[in-house]
A and B are shown apart, each in its own frame.
Chain A
Amino acid sequence: MSRVTRLFRSAPAYPLLLPGMVWLAIFFFVPMYYLLDMSLRTGNLLDGFNQVYRFANYGDAIRQNKEQFIRSIIYAASATALAFCISYPLAYVIAFRGGRYKNLLLMLVIAPFFTNYLIRTLAWETILADHGIVTSTLRHLGVLTATDKLGFTSGQRLLATPLAVVTGITYNYLPFMTLPLYVSLEKIDKRLLEAALDLYANRPRAFMRVTLPLSLPGIFAGTLLTFIPAIGDYINAYLLGSTQTTMIGNVIQSKFLTFNDYPSAAALSFTLMAGIMVFVIIYARILGTEDLA
């Protein structure tokens, strides 16, 4: 097929794509360029920001906020790991034992999304409150003494501690983990498991050799869909944390919206984006799957 006829045959596709692609180009890609551009400027709100290509903005911003970057990575990784440990058995039960209640159970999984993000985070503030049932029970059982020693909580309270922030993040992004896991588990041909059992594999072995490898695309998608929004989150740290639990999102937000320190904020934002991209590429190599959708 010549190039001309190929172009002609695919011609109807382009007008259909054009409006959406233009929108994404102007309001997703062009802003990324402006972010990069801003991150190399110096100045302040009154005198304006001049383009001087100061790459040191990046070094300064990262050095000053190293603690918040590391904390964000730890919190997001912990929340992703927790969400995985909760979601895998949950998705497994729905996919393999849900029967005709599958749809109902899936609806329960996404039910939290039907309440506003901030309202459900505020609900955790109520649940973890200092005089609430959860905190006083854990205090009486001596659990808080143990978690205090481990550094997860402090001062015999749950609210305003790392544990509260990670609990909130885990909760808010849990469906992002459960749904992809469910989809990949649901697709597994049950006869493969029967075959493994027929060949004298015991159940744990059949799980390790058949179910787990076949659910790898779900694990890949679920962990990324949880980790990426979790690392940029600042609501949970704001509502459930303290000044000791600020994440990189909180820094970017306050630099942009409170202190108007745009170049530094842009440098941090761009670093976050670039860091995530590098992480996704490495992660895809390790897990051996590039099939994201």
Chain B
Amino acid sequence: MAAGTEVTPATGAQQETAQSRKAPSRFWAKVRYQLLNVFAGLAFLYLLVPIAVVILFSFNDPPGRFNFTWHKFSTAAWQHPFATPGIQDAVVLSLKIAFLSTIIATILGTLMALALARYSFRGRSVTNFVIFLPMATPEIVMGSSLLTLFISISFNRGLTTILIAHIMFNISYVVVTVKARIYGFDRRMEEAAMDLYANEFTTFRKITLPLIMPGVLAAAMLAFALSIDDFVITQFNAGPDITFPLFIYGAARTGVPVQVNVIGSMIFLIAIGLMAVNILYQNYRGKRDAIAISGAVRKAQLAEAT
């Protein structure tokens, strides 16, 4: 009892000092809280203003060759996006390389991801390191070393060499993306299929592949984006061929046509559209699953009640 009366005033005093220390800082805490939000807002502005500039200047009608100052609103370039000589060939070549390199890199990378996520084997950590290295090497080193190889063995540069390079740097990104998905899924699904006398191939086709498909698709989209955007490695290994980024580089010093902004905006809008569709679909699936689960729960409850 005596101990109790001793303790209470002491803690009361402690609380008081804690409060008196906090009271004046409450205002500043709020300011600090809002300050961080304002800062984040400014960061978003920094990220998005250049994109707005790209889209805005696709509607410009520049007086000279340089599309750097705003002159007059025009939709001419949007009506004729391929009016500049050479630009269509460049875009077609970029798309061709992106499609081919995506398909090959996705297949090779997915197989490696399966091996790494599924099996424990000798040389696992070495394999992981080998896959990690291209992602940690500056593009200029990869580009120049590949160029040196092609020069040394007198291999003509062009579509083939660009393709080889793009597959090389895409493999690692595919492995990492698909691996993340494989780690997230329930192995018992496959065991169940095997228990039901499905052989390994059927199990893979009917269970494993559909389950990892979202990861494979995400990896393929990433590979496509990396390929169509790549400049450095492509410049070193393109030879006389001109991809869309190389076309822009060539035009940069003599004046970039408005069409470049139009095609850049198109790629941006298509990519954003695909992302939005993906997010909406995920939300829809989440809701659908939630409804299905709550329905099942209700059924179970009803069964229990009767």
Instruction: Please report A residues at the B interface, Cβ cutoff 8 Å.
Output: 6-7, 9-10, 12-14, 16-17, 19-21, 23-24, 27-28, 30-32, 34-35, 37-38, 86-87, 89-90, 92-94, 97, 103-105, 107-109, 111-120, 122-127, 129, 131-132, 171, 174, 200, 203, 224, 228-229, 231-235, 238-239, 249, 252-253, 256-257, 262, 265-266, 269-270, 272-273, 276, 280, 292-293
Contact = CB atoms under 8 A, between A and B. Distances in A.
B264 A119 contact: yes
Nearest to A230: B138
Contacts of A270: 141
B145 A10 contact: no
Interface string B106-140: 00110110111011111000011011111011111
B1 interface: no
A27 B144 contact: no
A24 B275 contact: no
Interface string B252-282: 1000100011001101100110011001000
B36 A114 contact: no
A119 B87 CA distance: 14
A273 B229 CA distance: 23
A249 B140 contact: yes
Contacts of A229: 138-139
B223 interface: no
Contact of B138 (A12, A31, A276): A276
B231 interface: yes
Interface residues of B, number: 87
A115 B267 contact: yes
Contacts of A104: 279
Contacts of B57: 123, 126
10 contacts: A9-B119, A16-B112, A35-B141, A126-B67, A200-B18, A228-B136, A232-B139, A252-B140, A253-B235, A276-B137
Q: What are the 8 tightest A-B residue pairs by CB atom distance, in nearest-first order?
A: A232-B138, A10-B121, A13-B119, A31-B145, A16-B115, A114-B271, A123-B50, A93-B40
A20 B108 contact: yes
A125 B50 contact: no
Q: Chain B contact residues: over half helix, strand or loop, or mixed?
A: helix
B171 A174 contact: no
Contacts of B48: 108, 111-112
A272 B148 contact: no
A107 B279 contact: yes
Nearest to A12: B119
B245 A117 contact: yes
Given A120-B51, A129-B69, A252-B140, 18 more contacts: A32-B145, A35-B141, A38-B151, A89-B40, A90-B39, A90-B40, A94-B40, A108-B48, A111-B51, A113-B229, A116-B267, A118-B249, A125-B68, A232-B232, A252-B144, A253-B140, A269-B144, A273-B138
Interface of A (DSSP majority class): helix
A269 B145 contact: yes
Given A17-B112, A20-B112, A34-B149, A118 B272 contact: no
Contacts of B147: 256
Contacts of B32: 203
Contacts of B140: 232-234, 249, 252-253, 269, 272
A122 B249 CA distance: 10
A11 to B, nearest CB: 8
Contacts of B272: 107, 111, 114
B164 interface: yes
A19 B148 contact: no
A93 to B, nearest CB: 4
Contacts of B47: 108-109, 111-112, 171, 174
Given A13-B115, A24-B131, A120-B50, A31 B43 contact: no
Contact of A256 (B68, B115, B175, B236): B236
B40 A127 contact: no
A127 B168 contact: no
A118 to B, nearest CB: 4
A235 B144 contact: no
A20 B3 CA distance: 74
Contacts of B144: 35, 252, 256, 265-266, 269
B68 A126 contact: yes
Contacts of A262: 148, 151
Interface string B136-179: 11111110111111011000000000001101100110011000
